Amino acid sequence: AEDDRILQKLYEHTFTSWGLPLQVRLVSSGIDGLLEIGREAPDLLITDLRMPGIDGFEMIRRLRADPQLQDLDIVVVSGLTDEDIAEQGGLPPDVILYSKPVPFRELKGYVQAKIMALQRRVRGA
């Protein structure tokens, strides 16, 4: 969930260049994010915090309040300072926080680890 169209394109281009088995759905607000997650829960949500309508803070609060989505992996990429985030009530401890500009190398490592964990879970089932 990212409202900046340029960053959306950058995410899309970068994720495609990784050559990983990903299905990416881009939305521009917390409201659209919640709607998409309601249709089909993703394995990972990457979101900004400042967006129009329902921002990332509220979207995360609502997701964590839903028992079926409490285990959803969430990564936040934000330009806000730690103080700004604390003033908004902070983030749950299990949410990964990266600062902008988007650290794609770290993000790729996180995504690769997530894919490997999902593949092991599928093989073990």
Nearest to 18 by CA among 78, 106, 122: 106
For residue 53, what pLDDT band results from cuts at 50, 70 and 90?
confident
What does the pLDDT read at residue 122? Answer: 84
pTM, to two decimals = 0.91
How far, in Å, CA of 103 to CA of 124, rounded? 32
Tokens matching residue 110:
């996180």
pLDDT at 125 > cutoff 70: no
Burial class (CB in 10 A: 0-12, 13-18, 19+), 47: buried
What does the pLDDT read at residue 45? Answer: 97
Tokens matching residue 101:
């500009």
What would the mean pLDDT of 87-99 be, rounded to a whole number?
Answer: 96
What does the pLDDT read at residue 73? Answer: 96
Span 2-47, pLDDT tens digits: 999 999 999 999 999 999 999 999 999 999 999 999 999 999 999 9
